[in-house]
Amino acid sequence: MYRVSPFTYWIGGMVSTLLHDRPVYCSPTETLRFDPPSSQSCGQYLSDYLETAPGILQNPESTSNCQYCPLSSSDQFLAGSKIYYGERWRNFGIMFAFIGFSIALAVLSYWAFRVAKWDTSKLRPKGKTGRKAAKAGEKAKQSAQEGAAPPNRDTQTAQ
């Protein structure tokens, strides 16, 4: 149901636009701490890793207690929720398609139930009342074919 909800696309479009390329600052509880091998600084030890890793080494000159924050940009955090800056216009388009579909459905429903005149005679159930009406219709046809006038309701009620 996550992808069916229009709020998914509204939030995705808004958040990716507002938070794009914002720097991330890790709290002390989010920072990874470790010691490098002896005679190396944190920057020397992690130099190859930092070329491909997205995070930030907070103390590259230190020789102990290296502090590494795994995120450097808000886009990396949002990617975990599958929210991408490159999809912002698609998200807004899908949101407006949901709005347009809802308006069209509301107008069509109003027209179908309030404006249109439906022929309900074809929708009657064929129960007892349907059979009785069919027999009365057949009798009226037979009497019309025989030349007799169909019974008048006014004269029957007066008698």
| Domain-embedded: residue 142 | no
CA separation for the pair 82, 16 (Å, rounded): 10
Distances in whole angstroms, Cα of residue 51 to Cα of each of 5, 31, 42, 43, 154? 39, 19, 14, 11, 101
Tell me the mean pLDDT in the region 18-46.
94
Say if 54 falls within a structural domain: yes
Does any domain span residue 120? Answer: no
Residue 148, domain member (yes or no)? no
The pLDDT tens digits for 79-138 are 999 999 999 999 999 999 999 999 999 999 999 999 988 887 776 666 555 566 666 667
- 53 domain-assigned: yes
Residues of the domain holding 82: 6-113
Residue 147 falls inside a structural domain: no
* Confidence check: pLDDT of 141 > 80: no
- Quick: pLDDT tens for 39-86: 899 999 999 999 998 899 999 999 999 999 999 999 999 999 999 999
Whether residue 119 is contained in a domain is answered as no
Domain total of the chain: 1
Q: Which amino acid, residue 143?
A: S
- pTM exceeds cut of 0.75: no
